[in-house]
Chain A
Amino acid sequence: DAKTTQPPSMDCAEGRAANLPCNHSTISGNEYVYWYRQIHSQGPQYIIHGLKNNETNEMASLIITEDRKSSTLILPHATLRDTAVYYCIVRVEGYGGSQGNLIFGKGTKLSVKP
């Protein structure tokens, strides 16, 4: 089972920041938080990942709480093309076995509206 909890759906106005929450209260010290998104009928697209510190790249920012039990993915200026299902995943980094596999939940369906 997925180790994360996400709201099933969210709306966001175009041009505004989209803040997608994720709860992972049972996360272990060696588990990373990964975010992927999936636009309709396409393969999942990697967005960002982090362990403890906040991370930012050209797509998004990842804010992880100090206790690491939750995180927020921020899309600073959402566009219509950001409409997708967003998956928050926790996984152990490293070699071997099921530690490397991604366990997807149902994600959050983000709808960006004009």
Chain B
Amino acid sequence: DTGVSQDPRHKITKRGQNVTFRCDPISEHNRLYWYRQTLGQGPEFLTYFQNEAQLEKSRLLSDRFSAERPKGSFSTLEIQRTEQGDSAMYLCASSLGDRATDTQYFGPGTRLTVL
């Protein structure tokens, strides 16, 4: 399967703990996006990378959130001192970054439950 992959698929943690999620984009895709989706809502944009550069961060991305894409390939999203309000599905998407065909393809998501 050459699609976007995410790990882990599910994570249960206690409030106050740190968690880290990984996303592997489609090979040769230059752009990588993170979204968050809460129950009954559509996905909401968090941040995106063009290669290794983080070009935009949403206001939803509080100081407890940090994302990296160190070599322009896979990316990690870390949440420090988790809160119950962080419980959500965290989605990763990637795209070629080509102006003409910049369609985003999503991974299966990581479902986070904070107890």
Contact = CB atoms under 8 A, between A and B. Distances in A.
| A interface SS class | loop
A103 B56 contact: no
Given A43-B91, A93-B99, A97-B56, A104 B106 contact: no
B44 interface: yes
Contact of A94 (B4, B43, B99, B105): B99
Name the interface size band of chain B: 20 to 34
Interface centre among A44, A85, A94 (most CB of B within 10 A): A44
B42 A87 contact: yes
A16 to B, nearest CB: 26
B106 A100 contact: no
Interface centre among A36, A87, A94, A100 (most CB of B within 10 A): A100
Contacts of A49: 103
Contact of A46 (B44, B99, B104): B104
A2 interface: yes
Nearest to B3: A43
B25 interface: no
A96 interface: yes
B56 A101 contact: yes
Contacts of B104: 46, 102
B2 to A, nearest CB: 15
B42 A2 contact: yes
A100 B103 contact: no
A44 B91 contact: yes
Interface of B: 4, 31, 33, 35, 40-45, 48, 50, 55-56, 91, 93, 95, 97, 99-100, 102-109, 111
27 contacts: A2-B42, A34-B103, A36-B106, A41-B109, A42-B109, A43-B91, A43-B93, A43-B107, A43-B108, A44-B43, A44-B91, A44-B106, A49-B103, A87-B42, A95-B99, A96-B55, A98-B45, A98-B56, A100-B95, A101-B33, A101-B56, A102-B33, A102-B93, A104-B44, A106-B40, A106-B41, A106-B42
Interface of A: 2, 34, 36, 41-46, 49, 85, 87, 93-98, 100-107
